[in-house]
Structure 1
Amino acid sequence: MQTQEQYYRVKQIASAPATPEKIHVYKTGANVGKTRKIKAKPARQGLLPVSEKTIWEWSRDGRFPKPIRLGGAGGKVTVWRASDIQKWIEERD
């Protein structure tokens, strides 16, 4: 029986602090003076204690496994193989 490959999205790998709800006031452009509510986000604990930006920078610099693209026309999603991430973590312990 063939086992199915596991994948992680960047949100599962990276951690993020909680952010409070904010009210944004447009200062320029067509919406000047209007406000927009930005929802609060809960904290997220990923596999690593780093941000999504750090994951992308490490990947670009070759210090983290390269992501792969899955999906057909228009439905592509960027993921990392779970086995590659696990191996990378084990090499650092």
Structure 2
Amino acid sequence: MQKLPETGYLRLNQIIGNPKADPPVPPIIPVGKSTWWEGVRTGRFPAPVKLGPRTTAWRIEDIRTLLRQLGG
């Protein structure tokens, strides 16, 4: 797994990975996009932060907390 910075934000492709990117982005949490958004909707995954009209991201601190809860 990649090392996460202490603070900041992650975009969705950084969280769930993107094998088509060059170089490929490995997933931090290996789920699909629709599974991720369903988890956000139900509260299983953290809520995003809108950084702009077309920019959605998640706080690294929230992703770290999720990883601890999932046992990773």
- Shorter-chain TM-score above 0.5: yes
**Distance apart, 1:92 and its partner CA:** 1.7
Supply the distance in 2 between the matched residues of 1:54 and 1:67 (Cα, whole angstroms).
Answer: 15
Q: Give TM-score, length-normalised by structure 2.
A: 0.73
Amino acid at match of 1:69: K
Per-residue displacement from partner, 1:21-56 (whole Å, max 9, x unpaired)? Answer: xxxxxxxxxxxxxxxxxxxx3554121111122111
Native 8 Å contact 1:67 1:79 kept in 2: yes
Q: 2:64 pairs with 86, 90, 93, which one?
A: 86
Higher helix proportion (structure 1 or 2): 2
Structure 2's unaligned 5+ residue stretches are: 1-6
Q: Which has the larger radius of gyration?
A: 1
Amino acid at match of 1:15: G
Q: CA RMSD in A?
A: 2.1
Q: Give TM-score, length-normalised by structure 1.
A: 0.58
Supply the distance in 2 between the matched residues of 1:47 and 1:92 (Cα, whole angstroms).
Answer: 12
Paired residue total = 64
State, as a whole percentage, how many aligned pairs show the same letter.
37
